[in-house]
Amino acid sequence: MRIALKHIVSLFSGIYVNTSASRGAEIYYLQMRHWDKDRKLAKQIEPELCKEYRLQKNYLESGDILLATKGVDPFAAIYDGRYEPAVASSVFTVIRIKDPSTTLPEYLQWYLNHPTTTNTLVAASRGTSIPLITRDVVEELEIPLPSVNKQKQIVRLHELQQQAGRLRRYISKLEENLFQYHLLQTANGE
């Protein structure tokens, strides 16, 4: 079964806030720079915003998905609630699943990060210097929605594939180090 995203999620825009005058900050302001190349949230982030009533409606909830909709590198990341309270910057569209018993955040994140999906989103983006994926494009994106058990299987297989890739890179680095060590030993006449 395929379904338009707007039927299973609520969308919120991230906000722009000037962080330069935020002494005594208590709120985390999540920006692109807080994610690494593997789309993992940094281990250490400092609060950047002072508490203001107007920010409360933008507080993130654990399980929200932040979709980078501005720029040349769209990606989806799950907010895990580690930093609270937090708001998303304006480069993100916040995706909140309406019924977590039918859609797993991890599955939706996987699907949004799939190369076919990112290609679709990029192709539909507007603008030349700073591409923008509009809210309408995100809302109308149709996704396959298998059972929760199938979603769990897909997520687990993806995690295993990612782990295998990390192990292959690690082994390759060890092999390269060993090869370079032997070359150095040979050069030194040993």
Give me the phi and psi of 96, to 5 degrees please: -115, 120
Segments of the chain assigned E as strands = 2-4, 9-13, 28-30, 65-68, 76-78, 86-88, 92-97, 142-144
- Ranges of residues in the chain with a pLDDT under 50 are none
pLDDT score for 21? 56
pLDDT score for 20? 63
pLDDT score for 183? 92
CB-CB contact of 117 with 107 (8 Å): no
Count of C-beta atoms within a 10 Å radius of residue 28: 22
Type of residue found at 58: N
Is the four-CA dihedral 35, 36, 41, 44 of positive or negative sign?
negative
Token look-up 């797993």 returns 104
